[in-house]
Structure 1
Amino acid sequence: MSSLVCEGPAMSSSSPDEVLARKGRLKQRYDNEYRLVAGCVPYRVKKDEGNPCSLGDDRGQVEVLMISTPNRTDMVFPKGGWEDDEDVYQAACREAMEEAGVKGTIDRTTLGHWVFKSKSSQQSSSPRGACKGYIFAMEVIEELESWPEQATHGRRWVSPGEAYQLCRYDWMREALTALLERFSMIEAVGSAQELTDQNGVYMMLQTTSDGAVALC
């Protein structure tokens, strides 16, 4: 299992002191008609006071970070378009910074790979308008006081139990379950796969879940 420390991927900026979220889809990656997206489940571990190196058996020691979206009461994990000048891990890190204002260490072994379809295209067999998304675990090491999409995305640390209640889509609960499996908090139900991207060639691996409904 390998990891990557996020070091602030390149983003649009109008001045050296201002970091802006990327806009538009000029650099967007596609796999045939599927738009490719990347995201993460940001988390932190509360160390046992008696043993700072121990995770412990209490599931509440792990917290995950979720973000709000306008006019909704449920919450999501950060994700967005994977662009052609970055690998999938950098894309996931960038989305976490843009939407949640956090940086951290991302695990290169994916929590899962899902197909996202809008509600309007859910009954269609065509990939047009759908996305393929890859979600990773990211241990947060820095929280920014301000971030590019702060006006539209608030952030909130929650327990795994609360996260399950707040998750908007099934794929989110499945990704959260995969994260908790890594801490041996729940019985493992499957294995994750690692993605590779060499010379710009996108390699498809085994799908953990398929057909989850989400808005791209």
Structure 2
Amino acid sequence: MTLLARLASDVQLMFRRPPRQQYAALCYRIKKKTGELEVLLMTSRDTGRWVIPKGWPMARKCAYEVAAQEAFEEAGIHGTVDTETLGHYTYSKVLRDGLKVTCKVQVFALEVTSMAKNFKEKGERTIEWVSCDEAVKRVNEPDLRDLFLAFKQRMAERRSGRMPKQIPAE
């Protein structure tokens, strides 16, 4: 590597910021008549791409509480949120000042019990219920696609009465 290329690489590393943390809800429901699993997708306000409800940390709220709060504010969702994360994904966000940052999003499952008629961001987004397979086709982030597929598998195992295999600790 040339000295100039090495210096450029070092300068880039010096100015790289750690990912910003966000929390999200993977909202789901089981259709009563068919037993089908559906997940909620909505469009982002800025780019119109398909996303799940997510937001920044909030004072005096746990990560899963933030996820539930964002689900209500952005999509009018009420439900029961898991306290354990499903996993995380990353995406690139352009802030209001034009700065581009990487965000790491911890995702929590939220079983929907009801939907409000009025909520903070009503009319600002398109909201749709879709299958996990359809969600995988619509979202841009590869790690979020993987979370939808893993969630589909987890729910299939739960509904069939099988539990995931336990891996013994070493």
Q: Same fold (TM over 0.5)?
A: yes
Give the TM-score taking structure 1 as reference length: 0.56
Q: Tell me what 1:95 maps to.
A: 70
The equivalences for 1:73-84 within 5 A come to: 74-84=49-59
The percent of aligned pairs where both chains have the same amino acid is 30
The equivalences for 1:19-30 within 5 A come to: none
**CA distance, structure 2, for counterparts of residue 110 and residue 38 of structure 1:** 10
Aligned amino acid, residue 114 of structure 1 = Y
The equivalences for 1:107-146 within 5 A come to: 107-118=82-93, 129-146=101-118
Q: What's the offset of the Cα at 1:75?
A: 1.4
CA shift digits 1:144-186 (9 cap, x unpaired)? 111101132221111222212211221221221121121136x
Q: Tell me what 2:6 maps to.
A: none
State which structure, 1 or 2, has the greater radius of gyration over its C-alpha atoms: 2
Aligned amino acid, residue 68 of structure 1 = T
The equivalences for 1:1-216 within 5 A come to: 33-47=18-32, 61-70=36-45, 74-118=49-93, 129-184=101-156
Structure 1 range deviating more: 98-107 or 166-175: 166-175
- Equivalent pair of 2:43/2:51 in contact (CA under 8 Å): yes
- Equivalent pair of 1:41/1:175 in contact (CA under 8 Å): no
Q: Which ranges of structure 1 fall in alignment gaps of 5 or more residues?
A: 1-31, 50-54, 56-60, 120-127, 192-216
Q: Which has the higher strand share?
A: 2
CA shift digits 1:44-71 (9 cap, x unpaired)? 012357xxxxx5xxxxx00111112347
Number of equivalent positions: 141
Q: What's the offset of the Cα at 1:73?
A: 5.8
Give the TM-score taking structure 2 as reference length: 0.70
CA-based RMSD of the aligned residues comes to 3.0
**CA distance, structure 1, for counterparts of residue 156 and residue 47 of structure 2:** 32
CA change 1:90–1:71 in 2 (3 A) is closer
SS of equivalent to 2:156:
coil
**CA distance, structure 2, for counterparts of residue 161 and residue 115 of structure 1:** 20
Structure 1 range deviating more: 151-160 or 97-106: 151-160
Aligned amino acid, residue 53 of structure 2 = P
Q: Which ranges of structure 2 fall in alignment gaps of 5 or more residues?
A: 1-16, 95-99, 158-162
- Equivalent pair of 2:77/2:112 in contact (CA under 8 Å): yes
